[in-house]
Amino acid sequence: MSDPNITARVARVFVAREPDTLVSARVARATVLFGGFEDDKHAGWTRRADARVPWYRRGTIIRNERQVSLVSSEELARIALALGVPEVKAEWLGANLELSGVPALTLLAPRTRLVFSSGAVLTVEGENMPCRGPGRAIQQALGMRGIETRFPKAALHLRGIVATVELPGEIVEGDAVSLAP
């Protein structure tokens, strides 16, 4: 699904600094290092294995292929529609970037490069599989019941992607983003 003719925009930039919450905080720009977004709790060369990698014992130190989390404005709107809620915000999903102009972001092929006009390059690692945590955050933010358990199905193939940093730089709201194989 990589299309070099698609040019997206960075709608919003977020950093997840708080270790006890999934929710990320909006910032105007982020410094991108080889390990991920500066000061982000998901940054680093390694991470501990969790339920997403059942072939490793939980807690095993593995390579961090989840340095950066991206969602699309278009897919967030589709999730909100599926859940029957007014909106789903990127920060409720713990995203680092919300892009607009890539309606099938979640289906981008692994190894696709996202080239940002301000200089950074991210490499798609794969789909960010939906789980109940973001559903719980949406439920809490909207003060509604039943979203936590419905979110995984509503967000399947719409939850966004995870990526690693190929070229450090800066990412700024409004940046153009081009896709490269």
User: pLDDT tens for residues 11-54?
Assistant: 999 999 998 888 999 999 999 999 999 999 999 999 999 888 89
Angstrom distance (rounded) from CA 11 to CA 175: 8
Q: Is 31 buried (19+), middle (13-18) or exposed (0-12) by CB count in 10 A?
A: middle
The pLDDT assigned to 20 comes to: 87
Angstrom distance (rounded) from CA 16 to CA 144: 24
pLDDT tens per residue, range 164-173: 999 999 999 9
pLDDT tens per residue, range 91-105: 999 999 999 999 999
Q: In 3D, which of 102, 93, 100 has the Cα closest to residue 147?
A: 93
The pLDDT assigned to 5 comes to: 64
List alpha helices for 20-166, DSSP H: 73-83, 132-142, 147-154
Q: In 3D, which of 98, 86, 110 has the Cα closest to residue 159?
A: 98
7 — pLDDT class (breaks 50, 70, 90): confident
Helices (runs of H) and strands (runs of E) counted in the chain: 3, 13
Model confidence pTM above 0.85 = yes
The pLDDT assigned to 1 comes to: 43
CB-CB contact of 113 with 181 (8 Å): yes
